[in-house]
Amino acid sequence: MNKVAERKLRGLSMATELREREKDERQAELAVKQATEARYRANLERLEALSESAGASARQGVGQLSVLSQNRGDYKQAVLQMAAEHRLELQLHQADMRLAQTALMQAMHRHEALEQTLERRRAGLQREENVREQKQQDELATQAWLRGVR
């Protein structure tokens, strides 16, 4: 293999490795975002459970002081407000995740394209090497035949 071809192949190989790293980074970023989404969902479930338990307590306290009932009502409202804000943050996070998924897909496509180009180049260089070796073998065979004829 000549030096220019080796240099080009090394450069393409390095570019492919960089694209693979980019793809891996995007995958890690998406995994973090998925874990965050799971935490959002778990928090929402807990907030909904708190809201339901506050409602049950408020129903039990019919004969209790009105201040206690008011406090439970305020608590439930605060929990519901927090849950609504959390749902909004979850929606924003999911939009961000869609962008991260798109970036990951693009990185995967770029990596795959470079990987295919690298494999084609390697195969082409191998074919050239095989042709050179075959020519060399043919030349040696011709020389041996000519020596045998004389």
Q: What digits encode the pLDDT tens for the residues 127-146?
A: 999 999 999 999 999 998 88
Res. 22: pLDDT tops 70: yes
> What pLDDT is recorded for position 6?
84
Going along the chain from its start, the domains and CATH numbers come out as 3-149 (1.10.287)
> What pLDDT is recorded for position 58?
45
Res. 67: pLDDT tops 60: yes
CB atoms near residue 72 (< 10 Å): 19
Which residue type, as a one-letter code, is found at position 134?
Answer: Q
Render pLDDT for 43-62 as a digit per residue (tens, 0 to 9): 999 999 988 887 654 455 45
Q: CA 91: distance to chain centroid?
A: 20
DSSP state of 61: T
Work out the percent of the chain whose per-residue pLDDT is above 90. Answer: 71
